[in-house]
Amino acid sequence: MGLNKTQRITVKVTEMKKLTPESVKFCGSEPYYGEHIDNVKVNSILLHFAKELRRQRGFRECLFGTVQDEARSRSGQGYLYVYFPNEIYVRGVIGHCDTAVGSNPTFKYYVQAKSTYNHKTYSHRWQARLAATIDINKAIRNAKTHLRPWTTNDIVKESLGNLGDLISNSARQAGRAANELNRDIRNAASSTGSLTNELRHLLLTDHKFVDKEVEALLKNYFDKVKNSDAENKRRYAVTLVAIDNVNQEYIVSTSSRPFNPVDNYTNDVAKYLAEGGDVRYTEETLPDDIRFKMASLSMLDFDATSDDEDRFVAGLGWRESEHIFYLVDDYEE
């Protein structure tokens, strides 16, 4: 059985290597004389597969790419990512390799996408994630079936990630602030602490604070506790905005039910967004409140390597990527 030939398919279009015609002139330090397409070195069989796919309706504008800087073989690599430049995620992978489960090599054309699954192969085998065939015509049909654009629900499931943690971060920070002051109060309540002395004084007087710092500490502490309780009880409406550059539209989906980061999980938010349905807006019809929040989040420095928290603003939302925004609002009945 050959090595695992599957590729990571939840890949964003922005991850495709930006290759130039210069990329196909050399393989390492040696001249490269093999086949290529879209400046990616490929073997001749894969080149035929890619060209046949590009002749099909719906795929004439597709591009082929890679996440590697160099083909691993002087004969070119055996797989290609299929993508459209104005979409967020790649459609999937096409390739040609030995897909045999046993020891006898069997080379096939294959398609790998989020919907491909071979029920004839045990699920733990890498071949189970491919739609493979020796017939080029069937391979093209597999590609047309499985290399579909990502739906809003697909985008939510893949990109939602730790939105719940980001939203609840305000509540956690409020709780930490209260806990820090709680430690100060415990220190003040030691046998010789100012709080103990103050309490002793309360027993002997008409409750007039002797230590004004203790009065301020207690007031600050209970304010923080009140704020922490309020944050933990807040409920949010979550709105997904996915930018569809192909149709020059904004795909907007608002959660059907409120989200509370203490009680709900990420899967709940994905379910609520799916229940909310999609509304498409143009640049002219996009609601002003959504436009304002997106503009505010777009002012954040965006770097694919930056932390999620760097792209999250409490009360506004999260800029998951260049094309995906999650907006949050206090939920109103």
Q: What are phi and psi of 186, to 5 degrees?
A: -60, -40
Q: Is residue 247 part of a domain?
A: yes
Residues 216 and 254 grouped into a single domain: no
Q: What is the pLDDT of residue 11?
A: 92
Residues 209 and 182 grouped into a single domain: yes
Domain boundary among 150, 184, 219: 150
Which stretches does DSSP call E strand in the chain? 26-27, 30-31, 35-37, 40-42, 63-65, 79-83, 92-98, 107-112, 131-133, 236-244, 249-254, 279-281, 312-313, 317-319, 324-330
**Residue tagged 């995620």 (tokens):** 89
Q: Is residue 8 part of a domain?
A: no
For 24-41, write each residue's pLDDT tens digit.
Answer: 888 878 888 889 999 999
For 197-238, write each residue's pLDDT tens digit.
Answer: 776 676 567 677 778 887 788 778 878 878 888 888 888 889
Residues 39 and 139 grouped into a single domain: yes
Instruction: Name the more confident of 132 and 1.
Output: 132
Residues 192 and 140 grouped into a single domain: no
Domain boundary among 119, 150, 181: 150
Q: What is the pLDDT of residue 66?
A: 93
Q: What is the pLDDT of residue 305?
A: 64
What letter would DSSP give residue 134?
S
What letter would DSSP give residue 21?
G
Q: In Å, how far are 7, 134, 239, 248, 256 from 277, measured between CA atoms?
A: 31, 40, 11, 19, 8
Rounded to whole angstroms, how far apart are CA atoms 82 and 79?
A: 10
Which residues are CB-neighbours of 159 under 8 A, at least 6 positions away? 320, 321, 324
Residues 300 and 158 grouped into a single domain: yes
pLDDT above 80 (res 136): yes
Residues 84 and 109 grouped into a single domain: yes
Q: CB–CB of 235/329 below 8 Å?
A: no
Q: Is residue 57 part of a domain?
A: yes
Domain boundary among 122, 150, 178: 150
Residues 44 and 181 grouped into a single domain: no
* Average confidence (pLDDT) over 157-177: 79
Which residues are CB-neighbours of 2 under 8 A, at least 6 positions away? 97, 98, 99, 100, 105
pLDDT above 90 (res 52): yes
Q: Is residue 5 part of a domain?
A: no
Q: What is the pLDDT of residue 153?
A: 86
Q: What are phi and psi of 70, to 5 degrees?
A: -140, 145
Residues 118 and 246 grouped into a single domain: no
Q: Across the strands, what pairs with 94?
A: 80, 111
Q: Is residue 179 part of a domain?
A: yes
Residues 261 and 225 grouped into a single domain: no
Residues 40 and 90 grouped into a single domain: yes
pLDDT above 70 (res 253): yes
Q: Is the dihedral of CA 132, 135, 138, 140 positive or negative?
A: positive
Could you tell me the two tokens for 203? 């027993």
- What global pTM score does this model have? 0.69
Instruction: Name the more confident of 209 and 266.
Output: 209
Domain count across the chain:
3
pLDDT tier, 164 (very low <50, low <70, confident <90, very high otherwise): confident
| Of the ranges 15-19, 162-166, 197-201, 255-259, the best mean pLDDT one | 15-19
Residues 158 and 269 grouped into a single domain: yes
**What mean pLDDT, rounded, does the chain reach?**
86
Strand arrangement, sheet containing 317-319: 279-281, 249-254, 236-244, 324-330, 317-319, 312-313
Range of the domain at 297: 154-163+234-330
**Residue tagged 């997904």 (tokens):** 240
Residues 121 and 238 grouped into a single domain: no
**Residue tagged 């027993």 (tokens):** 203
pLDDT tier, 2 (very low <50, low <70, confident <90, very high otherwise): very low
Tell me the Cα Rg of the chain: 28
